[in-house]
Amino acid sequence: MSGVTSLKTKPTTRDLLAGIKVVDADSHVSEWPTLWTERAPASLKDKVPRIVGEGEEKRWVIGDDNFIHHRCSSAALLADGRKVRG
């Protein structure tokens, strides 16, 4: 019988989801702290979103120090899988 999984073997997740499209509707994209400052021309580095301050005073700003959000309300995943809080 083609297309039937034998009861002698436990089906894998891939087997169970074959033909089913899965959409993650609760994904969040978080930018790493230097995303814009590393890429912006020198003349614009003080205009792009960036983190200013130290410790508990650290915060995201844009333009002339216009507050975006607190440091703990954002995070990014590094290439090695570590999570870095903004």
Structural domain including 65 reads 23-85
So what's the pLDDT on residue 28?
67
So what's the pLDDT on residue 53?
86
Report if residue 66 sits inside a domain: yes
Report if residue 45 sits inside a domain: yes
Report if residue 35 sits inside a domain: yes
Burial 37-72 (b: 16+ CB within 10 A, else e): eeeeeeeeeeebbbbeeeeeeebbbeeeeeeeeebe
Report if residue 12 sits inside a domain: no
Low-confidence residues of the chain: pLDDT under 70 = 1-7, 24, 26-30, 69-77, 84-86
Domain count, the chain: 1
Report if residue 2 sits inside a domain: no
Tell me the pTM. Answer: 0.46
So what's the pLDDT on residue 74?
56
So what's the pLDDT on residue 24?
66
